[in-house]
């Protein structure tokens, strides 16, 4: 089969379209013929060895959707021809975490395409439990791209305990996770505020239910407090150092700051007295459990989580999809049409 192969971890230029042998499903596994591979910024990091793939050359890609074309021994829930969505969370499937819907804490947890071969290939073999049925009315582009970012955003809001009566501030809206967080928070009935350095991204968020947006490089906590009185109950952060201070100051008493990334600096300062006097929570979050992936798919299927596709690239043009992600100019999901 044809696959995009990463020859070394020196970046996007180390990618090439090559031939590898077709993967064969083992017991409990299913082979999927890929239709759409969805890319995330994570895939750009992996080209730089963050994290290092298990072996080289390596196939990238976490998100995807396709059609089942071969069944391994013992698989009864899938049949050849089934249209499926791939959940990019891989784990051992047997430990106390995996068996209690807490796979993200499994010692062997990894995201598809990080260490294990991913979706940027004509075929992929996965455990049967990694597949979800694709709703017929869902487009292939959406089915193949929403998973990783949207389910990560869902888990962030779930862990923060966001209530429909509360206000959420999404810092740095425009990326996959932050855009999904704004949409899911609206779907949950919460009041949504956003920040971005890009006016177009703020306009997008307002068109999708956000009440207001502020410049990420401004003292936006003042504007948040001017609008809300005491601040946001939940702040969704994936920017890091550049916005941390303002994000922290934006919290209302009892507020929760939930973090899933640090694209602009990973070391931050924290005022401990503010933390305890305002009784704030700081919550780390990454990826979702199976039930949260399923809940996210339900929102997408119901139409309450509209997935915006930034651009669809041809399989041969996948390198341009990486460059699009690297530029940070995308608004919504970047898809590669495999077949």
Q: Of the two residues 99 and 218, which places its CB atom closer to Zn ion in the complex?
A: 99
**Distance of closest approach, residue 60 Cβ to Zn ion, in angstroms:** 24
- Report 170-209 residues binding Zn ion (CB under 5 A): none
Q: How far apart are CA 146 and CA 114, in angstroms?
A: 18
Q: Of the two residues 34 and 288, which places its CB atom closer to Zn ion in the complex?
A: 288
Are 116 and 89 in contact by the 8 Å Cβ rule? The answer is: no
Instruction: Name the E strands within the chain.
Output: 2-6, 15-19, 29-39, 58-59, 63-71, 83-86, 89-90, 110-111, 123-127, 131-133, 167-170, 191-196, 212-215, 232-237, 251-259, 281-284, 309-314, 333-337
Q: Of the two residues 13 and 101, which places its CB atom closer to Zn ion in the complex?
A: 101
91 is a site residue for Zn ion (CB under 5 A): yes
Cα–Cα nearest to 58, from 94, 10, 126, 130: 10
Closest residue to Zn ion, based on beta-carbon distance: 106
Stretch that binds Zn ion, among 101-109, 173-181, 194-202, 263-271 (CB under 5 A): 101-109
Q: How far apart are CA 54 and CA 180, in angstroms?
A: 30
Q: Which residues pair with 84 in a beta bridge?
A: 66, 133
Stretch that binds Zn ion, among 21-29, 60-68, 95-103, 253-261 (CB under 5 A): 95-103
Stretch that binds Zn ion, among 31-39, 104-112, 128-136, 261-269 (CB under 5 A): 104-112
Q: Contacts with Zn ion: how many residues (CB under 5 A)?
A: 5
Q: Of the two residues 106 and 299, which places its CB atom closer to Zn ion in the complex?
A: 106
Q: How far apart are CA 106 and CA 71, in angstroms?
A: 26
Among 50, 92, 200, 302, the residue binding Zn ion under the rule CB under 5 A is: 92
95 is a site residue for Zn ion (CB under 5 A): yes
**Distance of closest approach, residue 62 Cβ to Zn ion, in angstroms:** 18
**Distance of closest approach, residue 76 Cβ to Zn ion, in angstroms:** 22
Stretch that binds Zn ion, among 87-95, 117-125, 241-249, 257-265 (CB under 5 A): 87-95
Q: How far apart are CA 212 and CA 92, in angstroms?
A: 43
Q: Of the two residues 6 and 98, which places its CB atom closer to Zn ion in the complex?
A: 98
- Report 46-65 residues binding Zn ion (CB under 5 A): none
Among 59, 106, 184, 280, the residue binding Zn ion under the rule CB under 5 A is: 106
Tell me if the bond preceding 57 is cis, omega within 30° of 0. Answer: yes
- Where helices occur in the chain by DSSP H, the ranges are 41-47, 140-143, 147-160, 176-187, 199-207, 220-228, 241-249, 272-277, 290-302, 318-327
CA 239 to chain centre: 14
Q: Of the two residues 90 and 168, which places its CB atom closer to Zn ion in the complex?
A: 90
98 is a site residue for Zn ion (CB under 5 A): yes
**Distance of closest approach, residue 124 Cβ to Zn ion, in angstroms:** 21
Positive or negative, the CA dihedral 65, 69, 72, 78 is positive
Q: How far apart are CA 26 and CA 333, in angstroms?
A: 32
Q: Of the two residues 56 and 92, which places its CB atom closer to Zn ion in the complex?
A: 92
Site of interaction with Zn ion (CB under 5 A): 91-92, 95, 98, 106
């Amino acid at each position: 089969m044809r696959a995009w192969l990463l020859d070394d971890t020196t970046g996007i230029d180390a990618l090439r379209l090559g031939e590898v042998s077709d993967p064969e499903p083992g017991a409990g596994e299913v082979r999927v013929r890929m239709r759409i591979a969805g890319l995330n910024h994570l895939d750009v990091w992996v080209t730089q060895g963050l994290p290092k793939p298990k072996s080289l050359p390596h196939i990238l890609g976490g998100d995807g959707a396709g059609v089942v074309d071969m069944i391994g021994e013992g698989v009864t829930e899938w049949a050849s021809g089934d249209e499926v969505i791939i959940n990019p969370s891989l784990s051992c499937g047997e430990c106390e975490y995996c068996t209690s819907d807490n796979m993200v804490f499994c010692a062997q947890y990894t995201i598809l395409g990080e260490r294990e071969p991913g979706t940027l290939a004509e075929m992929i073999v996965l455990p049967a439990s990694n597949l979800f049925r694709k709703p017929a009315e869902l487009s292939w582009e959406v089915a193949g791209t929403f998973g990783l970012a949207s389910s990560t955003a869902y888990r962030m809001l779930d862990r923060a305990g966001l209530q429909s009566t509360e206000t959420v501030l999404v810092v740095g809206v425009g990326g996959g996770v932050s855009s999904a967080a704004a949409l899911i928070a609206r779907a949950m009935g919460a009041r949504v505020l956003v920040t971005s350095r890009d006016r177009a991204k703020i306009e997008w968020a307002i068109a999708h239910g956000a009440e207001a947006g502020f410049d990420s490089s401004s003292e936006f906590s003042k504007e948040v407090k001017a609008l809300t009185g005491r601040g946001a109950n939940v702040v969704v952060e994936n920017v890091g150092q550049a916005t941390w201070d303002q994000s922290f100051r934006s919290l209302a008493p009892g507020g929760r700051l939930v973090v899933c990334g640090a694209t602009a600096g990973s070391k931050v300062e924290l005022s401990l007295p503010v933390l305890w006097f305002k009784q704030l929570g700081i919550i780390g979050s990454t990826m979702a459990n199976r039930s949260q992936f399923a809940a996210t798919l339900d929102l997408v299927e119901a139409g309450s989580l509209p997935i915006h596709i930034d651009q669809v690239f041809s399989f041969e043009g996948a390198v341009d999809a990486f460059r699009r992600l690297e530029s940070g100019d995308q608004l919504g999901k970047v898809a590669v049409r495999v077949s």
